[in-house]
Amino acid sequence: MRDNRLMKYNWQHPNWPNFTYDLSSVRKQLLTFAEKTGEVSGILKGLSNEMQQEAALQLMVTEAVKTSEIEGEYISREDVKSSIRNKLGLNKVAIQVQDKRATGISELAIDIRNQFHAPLTEEMLLNWHKMLMQGASGIEIGKWRTHSEPMQVVSGTPAKQTVHYEAPPSNRVKKEMGAFIKWFNSTSSGANELKPPLVRSAIAHLYFESIHPFEDGNGRIGRAISEKVLAQGIGRPEYISLSKTIEAQKQEYYAALERAQMSLQITPWIEYFVEMALHAREDAQVVVEYSLSLAKFFDKHRDTLSDRQLKVLRKMSAAGPEGFEGGMSPKKYISITGVSKATATRDLQELHNIEALIRKGDGRSTRYHLNL
């Protein structure tokens, strides 16, 4: 008989992995999430395939960059964007990306979208790890962890460390992952859907993170699994970035995960995850609505603009809802188009006159922004 005094973590409980929870406190948020997902689907129907692709690209790049930042890895957004565009065949001439981390996270992002409907398998997860860990050294890549030392999540200095969590020993990982994969597929849409997709996504993330099957990359793959769940729930690739919302308050994320790994009663974790995902849904809706605004914007102006003006406006629009950093100036216009200062000033004034751009400031501090 197991000594309950020694049971500190969820996987040590005799009922593992039978999580329990009460959804009464999140039913309103679950309904709101479903409604907003429907709103996004409606907006997408009003977009051309090109604009849908652009919205998806914006969110894929954000997710790839932010899921890496959560783990303390800072990858160039431009490298990730170029890599994803290369993989999707959107660049007429492939752009060379030297950072293997950018290449790896981009391959993972695309594979998640392309195979969202496919059952989860051991081969899929190991391949995701190979993609993600390109260029890494000192760890086993594309394999479950096998080292005999405890797999611990720690903080602090080597002299004074705090152990936040200790995962099941390596000799249990293959069996635990077999059970996880079986659970995942048995609860998928079209199989035996017993849970709202958002709840299933929360449980899948916690369940996977509790096993911690890899030497490195568990957080990024765990968030990829959550995205796969949400896509399966609506029957199409998701337009969302959970990691952007998590990264903005990652200490809250780690604290919620740590508490959840101490018990099989996970109502607080469900509450945290649902609220976080709702914020992510609202943020993603802004991106999709922005894409719709851009479609209307270019439909209105494309026949009245020169090629160089269109080039500048597309460059500005690619910055996303946050806006072109620092606004457009004659100097930046010259850098993008190669025209003279007089031509740049005249072009920008024309764009302002037809209300394609909004002008702010005076003199040398004059900046232009898209008028959406």
- The CATH 1.10.3290.10 portion of the chain extends over 4-291
266 and 20 Cβ atoms separated by less than 8 Å: yes
CATH T-level assignment (fold) for domain 4-291: Fic-like fold (1.10.3290)
Instruction: Classify 188 as helix, strand or coil.
Output: coil
> What pLDDT, on a 0 to 100 scale, did the predictor assign at position 11?
97
* Cα(243)–Cα(234) distance, integer angstroms: 19
> What pLDDT, on a 0 to 100 scale, did the predictor assign at position 3?
41
pLDDT in tens, the chain (372 residues): 344 445 689 999 999 999 999 999 999 999 999 999 999 999 888 888 888 888 888 899 999 999 999 999 999 999 999 999 999 888 888 889 999 999 999 999 999 999 999 999 999 999 999 999 998 888 999 999 999 999 998 887 777 888 899 999 999 999 999 999 999 999 986 544 457 999 999 999 999 999 999 999 999 999 999 999 999 999 999 889 999 999 999 999 999 999 999 999 999 999 999 999 999 999 999 888 888 888 888 888 888 889 999 999 989 888 888 788 899 999 999 999 999 999 999 999 999 999 999 999 888 889 999 988
> What pLDDT, on a 0 to 100 scale, did the predictor assign at position 65?
94
359 and 345 Cβ atoms separated by less than 8 Å: no
pTM of the entire predicted model: 0.86
Residue 6 to residues 10, 109, 114, Cα–Cα distance (Å): 11, 40, 44
The residues, ordered by sequence, that sit 6+ positions from 133 with a Cβ below 8 Å of its Cβ are 104, 139, 141, 142, 216, 217
> What pLDDT, on a 0 to 100 scale, did the predictor assign at position 310?
92
* Cα(356)–Cα(361) distance, integer angstroms: 17
* Cα(35)–Cα(40) distance, integer angstroms: 9
> What pLDDT, on a 0 to 100 scale, did the predictor assign at position 1?
36
Q: Pairing mode, if any, of strands 160-166 and 357-360?
A: unpaired
> What pLDDT, on a 0 to 100 scale, did the predictor assign at position 292?
82
* Cα(245)–Cα(66) distance, integer angstroms: 9
Residue 39 to residues 4, 210, 233, 260, 282, Cα–Cα distance (Å): 48, 34, 15, 32, 10
> What pLDDT, on a 0 to 100 scale, did the predictor assign at position 54?
83
- The CATH 1.10.10 portion of the chain extends over 318-370
What tens digit of pLDDT does each residue of 180-228 get? 999 999 998 654 445 799 999 999 999 999 999 999 999 999 999 999 9
CATH 1.10.10, applies to 318-370: yes
> What pLDDT, on a 0 to 100 scale, did the predictor assign at position 6?
57
* Cα(134)–Cα(195) distance, integer angstroms: 35
* Cα(75)–Cα(69) distance, integer angstroms: 8
